[in-house]
Chain A
Amino acid sequence: MTDAVATNETILVVGGGISGLTAALETAECGKNVILIEKNPSVGGRVSQLYKYFPKLCRPSCGQEINYRRLKANKRVRVLTMAEVVNIKGAAGDYTVGVSIRPRYVNENCTSCGACAEVVSAEIDDPFNYNMKKIKAAYLPHNMAYPQRYVLDPSIVGPEEGERAKAACKYDAIELDMQEQALELKAGAIIWATGWKPYDAAKIQPYGYDRFPNVVTSVEFERMMDPFGPTGGRMLRPSDGKEARNIAFIQCAGSRDRNHLKHCSRICCMATLKQSTYLQEQYGDDSEAQATIYYIDIRAIDRFEDFYKKVQADPKVRFVKSKVANITEDRDTHDVFLHGVNTEGYHRYDNTHDLCVLAVGMEPSVRAEQINGNVAGDASGFIEMHEANGAIFGAGCASNALDVNRAVQSATAAALRAIQVVNRVAGAEV
């Protein structure tokens, strides 16, 4: 698929998460040609790593299934995985984009039969599970991976393991001499949808994420709930594998903080409210299961208020208006102690919890100013709407801290902005 032919009426979408996928599909379903570039071996992005969506508590892969079906059915979208933009030349309506493609060592012949993984013994950290789990070095990124094609980790591309994998493949799908590839693509408009990354929790020193095993991030907690995740879908403490029943959630871990991210990341309140419902799911009416949410303001905006009310009515969930001051741990049990003050009436606490989940903030994966050297962004690095950006349009979390619904909305809007440009190029009067 790397022989993608592109013209200045092609729309290039950078990033294959929910926003990029949406932008690509919505554009293509308007009859435009699209090239979708994804850095990872499969598309889907961060939503693939989520256990459930708020507020419906439905499964992200459900919508992904629909999107992948749209993708498979649409001949106007070409997907390039393991690909990254190196440079952008030209102007609106006439860009030339340099793209570099890392070798996958597995070609399109792959039937995802899994024979290679069976013979490979080396294991690597699983990035899909935030390195909390090991996987074979010949792997399908995850159950829903699209393209449904294996990947060989570069570490095993060599005489032993690599050759063994190659020998096991009956379909000549493994190419150990695959090289990095450089492409130049034409595009009329570019939709930049590189999404977000969780704020580095280790930088929040008083919370000891780098020191205490039982302090985890919200994104890691999400993986723990997946039956195919690092803990088999159970809330097990990293320190001793015991069930965590008394769980603390710390809001604004990095957000709304001049020392870290100055913006509010918007999603974390809802994400925590959602995660607090996982206790009911895991432990039913077990009264020992308790979630304590430490917050400054609960930002359950618009209809999400319904969900907030539902959680408030749950006897398992307790709210403490407080930014936790610091965390210490019991060296023997690895229980964590949260210290702080409930500011509603001044109540000091030193609470013990089995596990503490940091609702980490959102920052753009690629900061605006890093894109092509001159894309206008806000102080947090999110892409702004700006004339100087030509036909480079931000979509989804590359443009703001957004929930999935708003990211999709943003991507749909970006799709139209890109179409406006290529329609002008085509002189297409409808």
Chain B
Amino acid sequence: MSKFRNFAAGIGGATALTLVLAVNFGDRFVTPLPDLPEREVVIAPAPVADAVMAANADTAAEGANFGLGRPALPEEVAAWDIDVRPDGLGLPEGRGDIFTGEELYIAQCASCHGDFGEAIDRWPVLAGGQGSLTDDRPTKTVGSYWPYLSTVWDYVNRAMPFGNAQSLSPDEVYAITAYILYLNDIVDDDFELSHENFAEVRLPNEENFYLDDRAEMELAAFSTEPCMENCKEAVEITARAAVIDVTPEESASEEAMAEAAPAEEMAAEEIVEATATEAAPAEEAASAGPDPELVAAGERAFRQCSACHQVGDGAVSRTGPHLNGVFGRTAGSLDGFRYSPAFTEAGEGGLVWDAESLHDFLMQPRDYISGTRMAFGGFRNDSDIDAVIAYLQSYSE
């Protein structure tokens, strides 16, 4: 990792420069803080602070200070300090192979990132794109762009699957990370990733990142006294937003839009299906339906579902099927939605959604229908489930 150390040294230089700039024009409007001894005098007379300072005597003796806060326990640090660095610092022991990773990936990741990392809708693409960074439209993936494998491990571990973060075991994160490497043709199918071989894996694009060099490349060039009069002979309009016409409705002037020619290629490429998303308020529930308070609680709890599912006026299927009319619907039966084979089978086997079956499914989705693509791990308590069921029921007639 000597290369890395050099790099970190470079950073030190850059930040020193930053600090100089900040000192030069910072603090003109800053209320200066009193010096430390003065602050101690302010705090000291308070009996509560005295007690805390006594408990924290070491801290106070070392010249730090206010005696506020309490020591973090090792178990607490272990629970929150989950970050991982390129040199492997922070990685827990564990291992996972491609085969295990594929199973987990299909179950937990593919509904957004696609079976081959190609991504559904505008969710992040994870694989491919090698050699595309100089293209007109680069594809930035783990294989084509990301500099360090530790970033993949860290992010999967801290934030994935989307909507059920920090639910994967270390072995599972190793396996999924290994599978993402495999999808990017960086390892063979007999590869196993572990804490032992982690630092040996280098991503192809690591060398192509460099430190902010605006200070050398831009600041001087952009710091000259500009022209004020007769700076150019003529001015022509070279591009018009109205021609592209991708501004949300109700915001640009209609008259400007009326001038617009038919949309050009750029617009067609940029626009991904736009669908109405505003869910109707719960008050619109049928009068004979479930308890309004429960429905309102369900609307709140449904946030855990709304990354993938829509319900209400204008709801459409996205990552998950829309849930209008889910009550009484046969499982896996919504036209046009690509269910997991397990879900389709469950429907063919006669599973119909009602309060009871939804309850059991939402408690432990993957136990109830083994092989479902739904990444959600289940609600933690019955009251959320009952509320969500009431909420869904309000959109089922």
Q: Do A and B share a complex?
A: no
